[in-house]
């Protein structure tokens, strides 16, 4: 892979303070724009949940475009803008595409070994229930029928589109593709960025406190605990997603991991009736730690074979 990214960024550096201010602004914008239709544009309140979510989808899209523009403005002199430079910086690449999808996805699934096993055991129980105590052809047909019913219901569910498509795509664009190049170009070390970027990611979830407190009528303590748990999870996942982006250089790597994690929810650590689920979780977690660095080696998702320690040439941005 050519060093076009490093050469382009070297033409216009940003300071650490500028990078932090820009990332903070993008995080605030990502949340604030969600409330702009009613608070700023004075549009009437949506008449349905679907209309409400579609309006939020549009706001998230506008926020993503503005963040892409702001980060591009800071990273590249406007007279030297080239599409390839921007795509490389944002991790929108076609080389090693399938490696960038399946290797991180396989790695992420190890943390859900307990969850996947539990789902499989529950599926077997359902098959036995409809197969008179055993797995029969009729029980398999029943399972296939339920699956075929499930897919259209998800595809037409606006909440599913939010959780599995819109939120992962816009969040990864803003909090990984836009922010990480700015922070690295600003002089932050990669391992600093891995833990700094999730702080901005968490800022975008603080608005959930008001939703829990005002809309769901949670007590102050209960709302704080709910948001605290959510923020803890977003920090952990944000660090992992940032790690994937920096190690692979592909936006698709954290994007698919994000979609998968949203679909699976929190990993199942313990099941009261099935101790093997806990063992599976521990085995999967051990495998995840053991394979984290080997499965994200730079050469697995990139053509670079020289002495540069990163795919994108950030280490040469002096």
Buried-exposed string 27-64: b where 16+ CB fall within 10 A, e elsewhere: bebbbbbbebbeeeeeeeeeeeeeeebbbbbebbeebb
Q: Which of 96, 171, 172, 258 is catalytic?
A: 171
For the record, the structure tokens of 26 come out as 């993008």
Asked whether 184 and 16 are in contact (CB, 8 A), the reply is: no
Q: Is 2 a catalytic residue?
A: no
Q: Give the H or E element holding residue 282.
A: helix 275-291
Q: Is 312 a catalytic residue?
A: no
Asked whether 24 and 178 are in contact (CB, 8 A), the reply is: no
- Please name the residue that has the structure tokens 């702080």: 199
Q: Which of 96, 205, 250, 312 is catalytic?
A: 205
Q: For residues 38 and 42, give the distance between their C-alpha atoms in angstroms, rounded to a whole number.
A: 5
Q: For residues 92 and 173, give the distance between their C-alpha atoms in angstroms, rounded to a whole number.
A: 10
**Exposed/middle/buried for residue 242 (C-beta within 10 Å: 0-12, 13-18, 19+):** buried
Asked whether 82 and 8 are in contact (CB, 8 A), the reply is: yes
For the record, the structure tokens of 80 come out as 């030297």
Give me the helix-helix angle, 97-110 and 220-248, nearest 10°. 140
**Left, alpha or beta for 132 (phi > 0: left; psi -120 to 50: alpha)?**
left
Q: Which residues are catalytic?
A: 171, 205
């Amino acid at each position: 892979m050519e060093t076009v990214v490093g050469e382009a960024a070297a033409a216009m550096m940003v300071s650490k303070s500028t990078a932090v201010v820009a990332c903070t602004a993008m995080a605030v914008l990502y949340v604030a724009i969600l409330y702009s239709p009613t608070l700023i544009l004075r549009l009437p309140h949506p008449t349905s949940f679907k209309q409400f979510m579609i309006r939020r989808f549009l706001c998230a899209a506008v926020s993503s475009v503005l963040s892409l523009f702001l980060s591009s403005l800071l990273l590249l002199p406007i007279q030297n803008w080239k599409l390839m430079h921007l795509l490389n910086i944002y991790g929108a690449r076609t080389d090693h595409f399938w490696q960038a999808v399946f290797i991180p996805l396989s790695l992420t699934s190890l943390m859900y070994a307990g969850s996947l096993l539990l789902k499989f055991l529950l599926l077997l129980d359902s098959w036995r229930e409809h197969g008179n105590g055993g797995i029969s052809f009729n029980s398999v047909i029943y399972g296939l029928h339920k699956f075929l019913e499930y897919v259209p219901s998800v595809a037409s569910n606006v909440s599913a589109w939010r959780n599995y498509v819109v939120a992962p795509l816009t969040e990864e664009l803003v909090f990984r593709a836009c922010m990480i190049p700015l922070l690295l170009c600003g002089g932050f070390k990669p391992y600093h960025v891995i833990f700094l970027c999730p702080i901005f990611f968490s800022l975008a979830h603080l608005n959930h406190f008001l939703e829990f407190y005002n809309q769901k009528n949670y007590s102050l303590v209960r709302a704080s605990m709910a948001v605290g748990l959510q923020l803890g999870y977003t920090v952990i996942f944000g660090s992992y997603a940032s790690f994937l982006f920096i190690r692979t250089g592909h936006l698709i790597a954290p994007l698919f991991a994000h979609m998968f994690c949203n679909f699976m929810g929190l990993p199942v650590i313990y099941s009261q009736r099935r101790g093997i689920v806990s063992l599976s979780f521990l085995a999967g977690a051990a495998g995840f730690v053991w394979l984290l660095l080997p499965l994200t080696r730079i050469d697995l998702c990139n053509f670079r074979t020289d002495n540069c320690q990163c795919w994108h040439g950030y280490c040469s941005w002096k």
